[in-house]
Chains A and B, each alone.
Chain A
C-alpha cells in the first residue's frame, strides 16, 4: 500500500431489499487531503460511509486501512473509531439528554486515578473546545437545550477532537450558517495540515471548491470518477453527477410579478406566539412567491409555524381569502388550503416506518377526513404520479420512507403537500440536504406552481441566491421578531444588509 494512502475501498457493493445502493464503488483517501464525495440524492454517499464505518455490513468488496494488514471489516462504529476513523453522520447523532461536555467525550471520558469519570477535567476540556469554536454555550447542561445548528457543531467538534487519522463529515453544513461553515473550514484546514484525511459530503458546490482537493463522484451507487478540484470546472462536475449535461441555473428566471393577481390570499396582523415569535404582520397575494430571510435562529420557522398553526397563535388575527380564520390545529389550516413543508424533516416530516405511498397521501387523507378513506387504487395512482413527477428514487411505492436517502425523503414530503392542491404553500428549507440538480428542480417547481396554478408560496432558504431567484419580496427577521420587508430590485448585498440590520 502506498505510504500516503489512508483508506482504499475497492468494488464495494451493498444492496438493500429492492435497491442496489452501492455497485462496485471505489474510493481512495490520502493523507492530508480533503476529499469531497459527491453525487445526487440517493447516489449512495451515506451508504458508502456507513459501510466503511461498520454501521452496515458490506455484500462484496474490500476495504484497506493504513496501519492494518489485510482487508478490514468493521463491525461497529467503535471498531472504526479504534482504527482512527471518526465520523459525523448525516443526521445529527448525539444524545440530547446528556450534557454538551458528555456528548463531546462519551466513550473516551477523562478518568481520575481511581478510574472514575473526571467531570472537572471533562468540563474544562469541553469548554476549551466550544470556546475554540466561538460557541457561547454552557457545556454542563443537556444538549437538548440547544438548536440543531449547535448540535451539529458539537457533533463535529466531537469527531475532530478524537485524534483521528480519518475524519468523515456527511453533510455537516446543511444546517449551519455561513459564519459557522467558516469556522468548520478553518478546523478542517488545520487538520489537513496535520495530515488527517477528511471525507466531506456536501451538496454545496461552492464549499467543495473552497476547501476540497479531490472529488469522487458516485452515480446510482457506481463509481463515476475521481478528479482533482483544479481540473474540474463546476459544470463538468454537475454533469458527472447527473450523468448528463446540466442546463445552467441561469435558466431559472423570475417572470416578475406579472402573474400575481391582486387577491390577498393570506393576511395576518399582529400574530404572535409567546416565547418564540413577537407580533408580526404578513400578507401574500395569489400567485406570489415571498421569502423570509434572517440569520439562523432568527425566527423564520417560528413565523411560518405560527401562520400555519403548528404553534397556535396567541394574539392577532388571520384572514384567509378575506375570511377570518381561527386556527386551532394544523388541520384547520389544511382545510383552509394551506400546506407546510417543515424544516426539520426527521422530527416534523417523515413518518418513519410508513411507506412512501402512505406518507404521500397522509395530508390529503387528513383533509378529506377520517371517514372518507381514499380508495387503494386512487392512493396508488397519486403515489405513482408524484414518484414520477418528482423523480423520487425508491424501490417501490411500498418502501418505508426511512429507507430512502435524505433528499428523496424531502421529495416525498413535498409530494404530500402538492397532492392536497394548496392555495398557500410554505416551504421551510425545502432544499436542505438536496443535490444541486434537485435544488434547481425545486426552485423551478415553486415558480411553476405560482405561475400556472396561482399558488401562493412562502420560500425559506439559508441560501440567499435561491431566494433571490424565486422570491419577489422578502420579510426580514431578527431575534424572533419581524424587522422589515424588502422588495423590488434585490441583490445579495441588499438582503445581507437588511439581515444584519445596517439599514436602520
Chain B
C-alpha cells in the first residue's frame, strides 16, 4: 500500500499554487531586479501588508469548506477598525479592553449570521450580504468621518503598531543613502502566522475541523452519518467572524485609522485568495496553507503592478485581472487533465 501513493487532488491544487507563486516571484525578481523587488524586505512587506488578510482568509476558507461563503468580512473589518479607533480616542478605553470588545463583537456577529445560516437555513450569500450592509452602515453610525489613533490617544496601541521585530543583522542591506536597513517584520505577522498554524492544526486534527470538510463534501450524508450539520455551519461562521475580528485588529494596527470606506472589496480579495489556494466554493476541498499562498500571490501581483509604476490606472486593474485569469485557467486546466487521467 505504501508504494506510489496517489496524491489526492486537493494536495495537487495546493502544490500548483505554491509552484505558480514561486515562478511568479522569480520572474518578478528577474524583471525588477533594479527596483529592489528581490529585497528580502519586499517579501516581508507583503506579509506585513497582508497580515490581516491572512487571518480573514483563514476564516473564509473554513466557511467555504462547508460550502458557504462570508462576504461580510470587508465591512466587518471597517466596523472593527472604526470601533477600535473610536473607542480609544473618544471613550479613552484601553487597548486591551478594546481588543477584547472587538473579539466579543466578532463572536456575536458570527453567532447571529451562523444561526441564520445554520438553523434557519438561509443562503449564506444573502445572510452575509445583509451582514455586509449592516456592518458598513454601523461603521458610519459609529462615526462618519475619518479618525485615527496617535501616540497621545493610546500609547499602548501605538507601540504595538510601531514595534518592529528585526531579523538578524547580516540579512540587512545598505540602501542608497548608505544606511544599513535591517529587514524587519511587525508583530502582526507573528499573530497572522500563529492563526494560520492554529487553523491548520484545527482543520487537520480536531473533530470540528473534519466536520467542516464532511459538511462541505455532502451535507445530506453528513446528517445521515450523525453529524450536527446545523451546529457545524453555525460555528464555521462564528469562527470566520472571530478570525475576521482578529484580522480587523491587525488591519487597524497597519492603518491606524478608521473610515467608512475602509476595506471595501476585501471580501473579494479573501475569496480570490482562498480560491487561488485551491479551496472550492462548492465546499469540501481546500486548506489554509493553500489560502496563505493565495494571499501571497494576490499580494505579489499588487507589488508587481506597483513596482512597474508605468501602468495607467486601468491597466493596473486589467493586469491584476489578467494574472488572476491566468491562474484560474491554469488551475482549472490542471484539474481537468488530472480528472481525465484519473478516469
Determine if B173 is an interface residue (Cβ-Cβ < 8 Å). Answer: no
Question: C-beta contact mask, B178-219 vs A, less than 8 Å → 1, else 0?
Answer: 000000000000000000000001001111001101101110
User: Distance in Å from the Cβ of B157 to the closest Cβ of chain A?
Assistant: 34
Can you name the residue of chain B whose Cβ is closest to the Cβ of A140?
B5
Determine whether B342 belongs to the interface, using a CB cutoff of 8 Å to chain A. Answer: yes
Whether A77 pairs with B205 at a CB distance below 8 angstroms is: no
Residue B264 at the chain A interface, CB threshold 8 Å: no
Kindly state the separation between the CA atoms of A20 and B261 in the bound complex, as whole angstroms: 57
Report A83 CB to chain B, min CB distance, Å: 11
Shortest CB distance B294–A (Å): 19
Q: How far is A106 from B341 in the complex, measured between Cα atoms in Å?
A: 29
Write the nearest CB–CB distance from B55 to chain A, whole angstroms. Answer: 22
- CA–CA, A38 to B284, complex, Å? 36
Contact of B210 among A78, A81, A87, A109 (CB under 8 A): A109
Say whether B216 contacts A275, CB under 8 Å. Answer: no
B29 within 8 A of A: no
CA distance A391 to B241 in the complex (A): 53
A109 to B226 alpha-carbon distance, docked (Å): 13
B6 touches A116 (CB 8 A): no
Cα–Cα, bound, A14→B214 (Å) = 30
Q: A106-B210, A138-B1 are in contact. Are A96 and B226 (CB under 8 A)?
A: no
Contact indicator per residue, chain B 9-32, by CB within 8 Å of chain A (1) or not (0): 110000000000000000000000
Question: Across the interface, do B207 and A117 meet the contact criterion of CB distance under 8 Å?
Answer: yes
List chain A residues, Cβ under 8 A from B227.
78, 106-107
Instruction: List B residues 136-171 near A (Cβ within 8 Å).
Output: none
Given A106-B214, A145-B6, also A93-B224 (CB < 8 A):
yes
Chain B residues near A78 (CB-CB < 8 A) = 226-228
- Does B90 make an interface contact (CB < 8 A)? no
Q: Are A98 and B5 in contact (CB under 8 A)?
A: no
Across the interface, name the chain B residue whose C-beta is closest to A55: B224
Collect the chain B residues with CB atoms within 8 Å of residue A103's CB.
225
**Beyond A76-B228, A102-B210, is A94–B218 a contact (Cβ under 8 Å)?**
yes
Query: Nearest residue in B to A78 (C-beta to C-beta)?
Result: B226
Structural contact, B217 and A97, CB atoms closer than 8 A: yes
Q: Which residues of A contact B9 (CB under 8 A)?
A: 142
- B303-322 at interface with A (beta carbon < 8 Å): none
Where chain B touches its partner, the secondary structure class is helix
- Residue A276 is within 8 A (CB to CB) of chain B in the complex: yes
Tell me if A107 and B205 are in contact (CB < 8 A).
no
Distance A94 CA – B217 CA, assembled complex (angstroms)? 9
- Cβ B225 vs Cβ A106 within 8 A: yes
Indicate if the CB atoms of B210 and A275 lie closer than 8 Å. Answer: no
Q: Using a Cβ cutoff of 8 Å, how many contacts connect chains A and B?
A: 88
In the docked arrangement, what's the CA distance between A78 and B224, Å?
A: 8
Q: Which of A67-116 contact B (CB under 8 A)?
A: 76-78, 80-81, 87, 89, 93-98, 102-103, 106-107, 109, 115-116
Known: A109-B210, A276-B343. A94 touches B5 (CB 8 A): no
Asked if B210 and A96 make an inter-chain contact with CB atoms under 8 angstroms apart, the answer reads no
List residues of chain A with CB within 8 A of the CB of B1: 127, 138
The residue of chain B having its C-beta at the shortest distance from the C-beta of A158 within the complex is B225
Residues of B with C-beta under 8 A to A116 = 201, 205-206
Q: Which of A286-341 contact B (CB under 8 A)?
A: none
Q: Would A95 and B6 be within 8 Å (CB), given that A76-B226, A78-B227, A117-B210 are in contact?
A: no
What is the bound-complex CA distance between A81 and B210, given in angstroms? 19
Per the 8 Å Cβ criterion, residues 192-220 of A in contact with B are none
Say whether A141 faces chain B, with CB atoms less than 8 Å apart.
yes
Give, as a whole number of angstroms, the nearest-CB distance from A310 to chain B: 13
Question: CB distance A97 to B224 under 8 Å?
Answer: no
A207 to B258, CA, bound (A): 71
Cα of A106 to Cα of B221 in the assembled complex, Å: 11
Q: Write the chain A residue with the least CB distance to B227.
A: A107
- Complex Cα spacing A81 to B247, Å: 39
B8 at the A interface (CB under 8 A): yes
For A93, what are the chain B residues with a Cβ–Cβ distance below 8 Å?
218, 220-221, 224-225
Residue numbers in B under 8 Å from A81 (CB-CB)? 226
State which residues 228-257 of B face A: CB under 8 Å: 228
Asked if B97 is at the interface (CB within 8 A of a chain A CB), the reply is no
Q: A138 contacts B213, CB within 8 Å?
A: no
Residues of B close to A55: CB separation below 8 A: 223-224
| Residue among B9, B201, B211, B225 with most chain A CB within 10 A | B225
The distance in angstroms between the C-alpha atoms of A275 and B338, with both chains bound, is 12
Cβ of A138 and Cβ of B225 under 8 Å apart?
no
Are B213 and A97 in contact, with the CB atoms below 8 A? yes
| A96 proximity list for chain B (CB < 8 A) | 217-218
Instruction: Check if A98 sits within 8 Å of B226, measured CB to CB.
Output: no
Distance A306 CA – B284 CA, assembled complex (angstroms): 31
B98 proximal to A (CB < 8 A): no
Q: A93-B220, A95-B284, A98-B214 are in contact. Are A107 and B226 (CB under 8 A)?
A: yes
Residues of B within 8 A of A140 (CB): 5
Q: Is the CB of A145 within 8 A of B225?
A: no
Q: Are B223 and A76 within 8 A (Cβ)?
A: yes
Query: In the complex, which residues of chain B have a beta carbon less than 8 angstroms from the beta carbon of A102?
Result: 210, 213-214
Interface assignment of B44: CB less than 8 Å from any CB of chain A: no
Q: Please give the distance in Å from B82's CB to the nearest CB on chain A.
A: 38
Q: Are A145 and B342 in contact (CB under 8 A)?
A: yes
Bound-state CA distance A276–B210 (Å) is: 33
Q: Give chain A residues whose Cβ lies under 8 Å from the Cβ of B206.
A: 115-117
Contact call B210/A98, Cβ cutoff below 8 A: yes
Which A residues touch B8, using CB under 8 A? 141-142, 145
- Whether, in the assembled complex, B222 has its beta carbon less than 8 Å from a beta carbon of chain A, the answer is yes
Chain A nearest Cβ from B1, distance in angstroms: 5
Smallest CB–CB gap between B209 and chain A, Å? Answer: 8
Q: Which 9 A-B pairs have the closest CB atoms?
A: A95-B217, A97-B217, A116-B205, A97-B284, A78-B226, A93-B224, A93-B221, A77-B226, A81-B226
17 residue pairs of the A-B complex, CB under 8 angstroms, read A94-B218, A95-B213, A95-B214, A95-B222, A97-B217, A98-B217, A106-B214, A107-B226, A107-B227, A127-B1, A138-B1, A138-B5, A141-B6, A142-B9, A142-B10, A145-B6, A145-B8
Footprint of B on A, CB under 8 Å? 55, 76-78, 80-81, 87, 89, 93-98, 102-103, 106-107, 109, 115-117, 119, 127, 138, 140-142, 145, 158, 275-276
Binding site for A on B (CB under 8 A): 1, 5-6, 8-10, 201, 204-207, 210-211, 213-214, 216-218, 220-228, 284-285, 340-343
